[in-house]
C-alpha cells in the first residue's frame, strides 16, 4: 500500500525529469550544470577543508596538487576555496540584476504595449537610441559615474536589463493585440489593471522565459568584466572576474592557475545558462530575440 | 514633395532625435551619482585654474537645463572636454587612437565572417547531424566565453607556452618605430613603405587580438546565420524548389538569397555589442585604441574621457547602422529588378 504510493510519487516526480534528456539535450545539460553550481554554493563552504581567506604559508603559489586541487595563490590561499566562495557573487548579483530589470522594465513595457500610440513610439525610440551605446560600455560608465559599490553594480546592470525586458514585453503585448487575445479579454469584462496583471504579465513572462537565462548570462559576463577591470568590486574580492585580474601578471610568468580556474568557472556557468536558454527555445519553438525572433529586434521592432 | 525626399527627411529627423537622447545620457553620467560633477570632471585635486575653467565651460553654476544645452552644443562642435588624468583634449586623444581600433575591428570582422558564415550555412543544411550539433554547441560556448578569458587563454598557450606570439604590448614591437601614417593601419603602412621588419612585427602583434575577437564574432554569427538559413529551408517556396529536383547549388543560392537580409540585420544588430567586446580585448592586449582608452578612463572615473568614449561608440554604431540600412536598400532594389 505504502510502497505503491511511494512508487506513484516517485514516478510523478521522476517522470518529467527522466523524459527530459529525450526532449532536449541542451536543456538537460544546462540544468545539470546549474544544479551543480547551486550545490557547490550551498555545500561547498561546509565540505571544503580550506577557507577562502585561510593562508597556507608553506604552500605559496603551489600548482594544482592533491592538497590544493586548483593550486594556491600568491599568498598561499586555496584557489578552490576562493572559487567556491565566489559562486555567491556569480549567482546572487546576476539574479538580483535581472529581477530588478523585470521589476523596472515590465511596467514600462506592458503600458507601452497596451496603450500603443505616441507613448509607445516615444519609448521605442528612446530604447532605440540607448541601443546604440554598447550595453557593456553603458553599464561600466554608470558604475564609474555612481562610484564603486556592489549595490551600484546591481543597479547599473539592472537598468540595462530593464531596457531589455521593457522592449521584449512591449513586443509581446503588441503581438497579442494582433492575435485578438487582448480584444477577447476586454470583451470578457476585464478591467485594465486586471487585464495587465492577471493576463498580460504572466503571458508575456512565459513568452520570454527562454530569454531570462540568456539575460542572467549577460549580467554574469558584465559583472565579470567589472571585476576584471577593478570597477565596482573591492580588491581582494572572490568575485571571479576580480580573481582573474589578480592572477594576470602571474599568468604571464607561468603560474596560470590563479587566473584560469576562476575564468573557467565563469565560462562553465555561462555555458550552462546558454544551454538552458537554447533548450527552452527548442521546447517552446521560439527564436532568440538577438536572432530576429518574433519579438522584433534588439532595438525594437518596427524601427528596422 | 517627392516621396523619397520625404523619407530621407524623416530619417534625418530620427537621427537627430536619437543623437539628442545619446547626448542626454552622456550628460546624465556626471549628474547621476552622489559625486559632484566638478570632482568627476576635475579629478581628486584639480588646480584652481582648471576648476574655474570647468565651471565656465560646463556652466556648472547655472541651471541643469542650461548646462545640458551647453553640453549638447559643445559636443556638436567636437568639444568633449579635457581628461583630468592626462590634461589633454579628449577628442584629440580619441581620434589619435581610432585607427588602432578600426584596424583591429576590420581584420576581426573579416576573419570572423569568413569562419562564421560558412559554418552557419553548412550547419543549417545538415540539420541534426553531428556537424550541426557541434556548430550549435560551439556557438553557445562562444557566447558564454568571456572575452578577457579567451584572450588570456590564447596568450597563455601561444605567448607563454608555445612562444609563437609576442607579448600583449600594443600594435608593434616596442623596439621599432611605428610607420608614418598613410592609412592608419600599422601593417598596411609598413607594407606601403616596404619596411618588412615593421610589417612582420605589426602582423605578429595583430595575431592574438584579431584571433580572439574573430572567434567571438564567428560564434555569434554562426548561430544567427544557421537560424536565418533554417527559416528559409522551411518556407513553402523552398520546398517547391526542392520538389522540382533542381541542383543543390541552385537550392543553396535560393536559400541564401532569402536569408541574406535576415543575416545582414542580425549582424548589424550585434555591432554595438561588438564595440564593447573590442574594448575588453584591446584592454587585455594594451592595444592603445579607443577601447582601451575608454576602459582606462572608467577605472579612474575620468568622466570627461568616459563621456567622450560613450559618444564616440554610439556615433560609430549609429553610422554603421545607417550605412547598413542604405546597403540593404540598394541590395533590395537590385534584387527586385533582377
Residue B5 has pLDDT above 90, yes or no: no
Among A132, A140, A266, the residue with its CB nearest the CB of B298 is A140
**CB contacts < 8 Å between A and B, how many?**
183
Residue B134 has pLDDT above 60, yes or no: yes
Residue A265 has pLDDT above 80, yes or no: yes
From A152's Cα to the closest Cα of chain B, the distance in A is: 10
Contact A266 B25 (CB under 8 A): no
Residue A300 has pLDDT above 60, yes or no: no
Q: How do residues A16-66 score in pLDDT, each as one tens digit?
A: 666 666 677 889 899 999 999 999 888 888 888 888 888 877 887 778 888
- Give the end-to-end CA distance of chain B in Å, rounded to a whole number: 29
Residue B213: partners with Cβ closer than 8 Å, 6 or more residues away: B104, B105, B108, B112, B147, B277, B278, B281
Q: What are phi and psi of A72, to 5 degrees?
A: -125, 160
> B133, B235, B227, B121: which is closest to A24 by C-alpha?
B133
Q: How do residues A129-142 score in pLDDT, each as one tens digit?
A: 999 999 999 999 99
Average confidence score pLDDT of chain B: 88
Residue with cell 568590486: A233
Q: What are phi and psi of A172, to 5 degrees?
A: -60, -45
Predicted local distance difference test score (pLDDT) of residue B197 = 86
Predicted local distance difference test score (pLDDT) of residue B212 = 96
Q: Which helix (H) or strand (E) holds B134?
A: helix B130-144
Between CA B90 and CA B70 the distance in angstroms is 17
Q: How do residues B29-67 score in pLDDT, each as one tens digit?
A: 988 877 788 888 888 888 888 888 888 888 888 888 888
Q: Does B273 touch chain A if contact means CB atoms closer than 8 Å?
A: yes
Give chain B positions within 8 Å (CB) of A145.
Answer: 29-30, 32-33, 35, 40, 301, 303, 306
Contact A145 B303 (CB under 8 A): yes
Contact B317 A145 (CB under 8 A): no
Give A72's strand partners. Answer: A78
Between CA A276 and CA A278 the distance in angstroms is 5
Q: How do residues A166-199 score in pLDDT, each as one tens digit?
A: 999 898 888 887 777 777 888 888 787 888 788 8
Q: Does B301 touch chain A if contact means CB atoms closer than 8 Å?
A: yes
Contact B33 A133 (CB under 8 A): no
Arithmetic mean of pLDDT, B111-140: 92
Contact A146 B280 (CB under 8 A): no
Q: Does B283 touch chain A if contact means CB atoms closer than 8 Å?
A: yes
Average confidence score pLDDT of chain A: 83
Predicted local distance difference test score (pLDDT) of residue A304 = 26
Contact A81, A52 (CB under 8 A): yes
In chain B, which among 128-167 make CB contacts under 8 A with chain A?
A: 136, 140-141, 143-149, 152-153, 155-156, 159-160, 167
Interface-testing mutation among B149, B259, B327, with chain A (most A C-beta atoms within 10 A): B149
Q: Give the long-range contacts of residues A189-196, CB within 8 A, separation 24 or more.
A: A192/A114, A195/A114, A196/A110, A196/A111, A196/A114
Between CA B10 and CA B7 the distance in angstroms is 5
> A201, A217, A208: which is closest to A98 by C-alpha?
A217
Give the whole-number percent of chain B exceeding pLDDT 90.
Answer: 42
Sign, CA dihedral B168-B101-B281-A242, equals positive
- Reduced to 3 states (helix: H, G, I; strand: E, B; else coil), residue B151 is helix
Predicted local distance difference test score (pLDDT) of residue A296 = 32
Q: Does B118 touch chain A if contact means CB atoms closer than 8 Å?
A: no
Would you report the helix, strand and coil content of chain B in percent, each value rounded to 5?
A: 75, 0, 25
Count of CB atoms situated within 10 Å of the CB of B34: 6
Predicted local distance difference test score (pLDDT) of residue A303 = 28
Contact B224 A252 (CB under 8 A): no
**Chain-centre distance for alpha carbon B153:** 22
- CA separation (Å) from A128 to A10, A82, A142? 50, 40, 18
Confidence class for position A297, pLDDT limits 50, 70, 90 = very low
Residue with cell 524548389: B241
Q: Does B327 touch chain A if contact means CB atoms closer than 8 Å?
A: no
Residue A14 has pLDDT above 80, yes or no: no
- Reduced to 3 states (helix: H, G, I; strand: E, B; else coil), residue B25 is helix
**Chain-centre distance for alpha carbon B87:** 27
Give chain B positions within 8 Å (CB) of A248.
Answer: 152
Identify the weakest region by mean pLDDT among A211-225, B24-38, B289-303: B24-38
Q: Does B319 touch chain A if contact means CB atoms closer than 8 Å?
A: no
Predicted local distance difference test score (pLDDT) of residue B316 = 95
Among B167, B265, B310, the residue with its CB nearest the CB of A292 is B265
Among A141, A291, A298, the residue with its CB nearest the CB of B310 is A141
0.85 surpassed by complex ipTM:
yes
Residue B89: partners with Cβ closer than 8 Å, 6 or more residues away: B80, B81, B82
Q: How do residues A229-257 score in pLDDT, each as one tens digit?
A: 998 777 678 899 999 998 898 988 888 98
Q: What are phi and psi of A212, to 5 degrees?
A: -65, -50
C-alpha cell at A11: 514516478
Q: How do residues B201-230 score in pLDDT, each as one tens digit?
A: 888 889 999 999 999 999 999 999 998 998
Predicted local distance difference test score (pLDDT) of residue A152 = 92
Predicted local distance difference test score (pLDDT) of residue B185 = 85
Contact A239, A86 (CB under 8 A): yes
Confidence class for position A292, pLDDT limits 50, 70, 90 = very low
Contact A73, A237 (CB under 8 A): no
* Closest Cα in chain A to B41: A145
Contact A206, A88 (CB under 8 A): no
Confidence class for position B139, pLDDT limits 50, 70, 90 = very high
* Closest Cα in chain B to A136: B276
From A45's Cα to the closest Cα of chain B, the distance in A is: 25
Confidence class for position A286, pLDDT limits 50, 70, 90 = low
Predicted local distance difference test score (pLDDT) of residue B293 = 95
Q: Give the long-range contacts of residues A297-300, CB within 8 A, separation 24 or more.
A: A297/B265, A297/B269, A298/A131, A298/A167, A298/B269, A298/B270, A299/A127, A299/A128, A299/A131, A299/A132, A299/A167, A299/B269, A300/A124, A300/A125, A300/A127, A300/A128, A300/A131, A300/A167, A300/A170, A300/A171
Count of CB atoms situated within 10 Å of the CB of A185: 17
Residue B85 has pLDDT above 60, yes or no: yes
Residue B87: partners with Cβ closer than 8 Å, 6 or more residues away: none
* Closest Cα in chain B to A128: B18
Contact B272 A131 (CB under 8 A): yes
Confidence class for position A299, pLDDT limits 50, 70, 90 = very low
Q: How do residues B141-160 score in pLDDT, each as one tens digit?
A: 999 999 999 999 999 999 98
Predicted local distance difference test score (pLDDT) of residue A293 = 38
Q: How do residues B7-27 score in pLDDT, each as one tens digit?
A: 888 888 999 999 999 999 999
- Reduced to 3 states (helix: H, G, I; strand: E, B; else coil), residue A170 is helix
Residue A271 has pLDDT above 80, yes or no: yes
From B60's Cα to the closest Cα of chain A, the distance in A is: 17
Between CA A151 and CA A143 the distance in angstroms is 10
* Closest Cα in chain A to B326: A304
Contact B145 A267 (CB under 8 A): yes
Q: How do residues B299-309 score in pLDDT, each as one tens digit?
A: 988 999 999 99
Contact A123, B12 (CB under 8 A): no
> A123, A85, A143, A126: which is closest to A262 by C-alpha?
A85
- Report which DSSP code applies to A62: P
Residue A301 has pLDDT above 70, yes or no: no
Contact A224 B272 (CB under 8 A): no
Give the whole-number percent of chain A exceeding pLDDT 90.
Answer: 38
Predicted local distance difference test score (pLDDT) of residue A2 = 64
Residue B338 has pLDDT above 60, yes or no: no
Among B30, B227, B306, the residue with its CB nearest the CB of A287 is B227
Arithmetic mean of pLDDT, B92-112: 94
Q: How do residues B314-327 score in pLDDT, each as one tens digit?
A: 999 999 998 988 88
Predicted local distance difference test score (pLDDT) of residue A204 = 83
Among B136, B144, B224, the residue with its CB nearest the CB of A267 is B144
Contact A251 B155 (CB under 8 A): yes
C-alpha cell at A127: 530604447
From A5's Cα to the closest Cα of chain B, the distance in A is: 40
Contact B281, B149 (CB under 8 A): no
Q: Does B215 touch chain A if contact means CB atoms closer than 8 Å?
A: no
Where would I find the H helices in chain A?
2-23, 25-47, 79-115, 117-130, 135-146, 150-179, 181-187, 192-194, 201-207, 211-229, 240-252, 257-284
Contact A270 B266 (CB under 8 A): no
Contact A282, B128 (CB under 8 A): no
Contact A135 B321 (CB under 8 A): no
Amino acid at each position: 500500500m505504502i510502497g505503491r504510493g511511494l512508487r506513484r510519487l516517485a514516478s510523478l516526480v521522476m517522470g518529467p525529469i527522466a523524459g527530459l534528456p529525450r526532449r532536449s539535450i541542451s536543456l538537460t545539460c544546462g540544468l545539470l550544470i546549474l544544479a551543480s553550481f547551486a550545490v557547490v554554493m550551498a555545500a561547498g563552504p561546509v565540505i571544503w577543508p580550506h577557507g577562502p581567506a585561510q593562508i597556507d604559508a608553506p604552500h605559496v603559489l603551489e600548482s594544482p596538487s592533491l592538497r590544493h586541487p586548483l593550486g594556491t595563490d600568491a599568498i598561499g590561499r586555496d584557489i578552490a576555496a576562493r572559487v567556491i566562495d565566489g559562486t555567491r557573487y556569480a549567482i546572487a548579483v546576476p539574479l538580483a540584476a535581472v529581477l530588478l530589470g523585470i521589476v523596472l522594465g515590465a511596467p514600462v513595457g506592458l503600458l507601452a504595449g497596451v496603450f500603443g500610440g505616441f507613448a509607445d513610439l516615444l519609448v521605442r525610440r528612446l530604447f532605440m537610441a540607448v541601443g546604440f551605446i554598447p550595453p557593456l560600455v553603458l553599464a561600466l560608465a554608470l558604475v564609474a559615474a555612481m562610484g564603486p559599490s556592489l549595490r551600484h553594480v546591481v543597479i547599473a546592470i539592472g537598468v540595462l536589463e530593464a531596457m531589455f525586458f521593457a522592449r521584449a514585453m512591449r513586443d509581446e503585448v503588441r503581438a497579442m493585440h494582433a492575435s485578438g487575445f487582448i480584444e477577447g479579454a476586454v470583451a470578457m469584462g476585464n478591467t485594465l489593471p486586471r487585464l495587465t496583471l492577471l493576463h498580460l504579465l504572466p503571458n508575456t513572462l512565459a513568452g520570454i522565459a527562454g530569454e531570462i537565462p540568456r539575460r542572467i548570462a549577460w549580467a554574469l559576463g558584465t559583472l565579470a568584466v567589472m571585476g576584471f577591470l577593478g570597477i565596482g568590486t573591492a580588491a581582494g574580492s572572490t568575485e571571479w572576474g576580480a580573481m582573474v585580474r589578480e592572477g594576470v601578471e602571474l599568468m604571464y610568468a607561468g603560474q596560470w592557475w590563479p587566473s584560469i580556474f576562476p575564468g573557467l568557472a565563469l565560462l562553465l556557468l555561462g555555458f550552462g545558462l546558454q544551454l538552458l536558454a537554447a533548450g527552452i527555445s527548442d521546447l517552446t519553438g521560439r527564436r532568440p530575440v538577438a536572432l530576429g525572433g518574433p519579438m522584433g529586434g534588439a532595438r525594437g521592432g518596427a524601427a528596422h | 514633395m517627392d516621396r523619397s525626399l520625404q523619407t530621407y527627411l524623416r530619417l534625418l529627423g530620427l537621427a537627430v532625435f536619437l543623437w539628442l537622447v545619446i547626448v542626454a545620457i552622456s550628460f546624465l553620467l556626471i549628474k547621476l551619482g552622489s559625486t559632484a560633477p566638478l570632482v568627476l570632471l576635475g579629478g581628486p585635486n584639480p588646480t584652481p585654474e582648471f576648476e574655474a575653467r570647468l565651471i565656465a565651460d560646463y556652466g556648472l553654476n547655472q541651471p541643469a537645463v542650461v548646462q545640458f544645452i551647453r553640453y549638447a552644443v559643445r559636443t556638436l562642435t567636437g568639444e568633449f572636454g579635457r581628461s583630468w588624468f592626462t590634461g589633454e583634449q579628449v577628442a584629440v586623444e580619441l581620434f589619435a587612437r581610432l585607427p588602432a581600433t578600426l584596424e583591429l575591428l576590420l581584420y576581426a570582422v573579416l576573419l570572423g565572417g569568413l569562419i562564421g558564415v560558412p559554418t552557419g550555412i553548412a550547419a543549417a543544411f545538415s540539420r541534426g547531424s553531428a556537424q550541426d550539433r557541434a556548430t550549435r554547441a560551439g556557438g553557445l560556448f562562444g557566447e558564454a566565453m568571456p572575452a578577457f578569458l579567451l584572450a588570456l587563454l590564447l596568450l597563455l598557450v601561444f605567448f607563454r607556452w608555445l612562444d609563437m606570439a609576442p607579448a600583449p604590448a600594443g600594435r608593434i614591437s616596442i623596439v621599432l618605430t611605428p610607420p608614418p601614417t598613410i592609412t592608419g593601419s600599422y601593417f598596411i603602412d609598413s607594407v606601403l613603405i616596404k619596411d618588412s621588419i615593421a610589417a612582420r612585427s605589426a602582423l605578429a602583434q595583430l595575431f592574438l587580438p584579431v584571433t580572439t575577437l574573430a572567434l567571438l564574432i564567428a560564434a555569434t554569427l554562426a548561430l544567427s546565420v544557421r537560424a536565418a538559413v533554417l527559416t528559409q529551408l522551411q518556407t513553402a517556396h523552398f520546398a517547391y524548389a526542392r520538389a522540382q529536383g533542381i541542383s543543390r547549388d541552385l537550392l543553396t543560392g535560393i536559400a541564401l538569397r532569402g536569408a541574406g537580409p535576415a543575416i545582414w540585420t542580425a549582424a548589424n544588430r550585434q555591432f554595438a555589442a561588438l564595440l564593447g567586446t573590442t574594448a575588453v580585448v584591446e584592454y587585455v592586449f594594451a592595444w592603445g585604441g579607443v577601447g582601451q582608452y575608454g576602459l582606462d578612463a572608467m577605472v579612474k572615473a575620468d568622466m570627461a574621457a568616459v563621456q567622450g568614449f560613450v559618444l564616440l561608440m554610439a556615433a560609430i554604431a549609429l553610422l554603421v547602422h545607417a550605412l547598413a540600412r542604405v546597403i540593404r536598400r540598394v541590395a533590395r532594389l537590385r534584387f527586385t529588378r533582377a
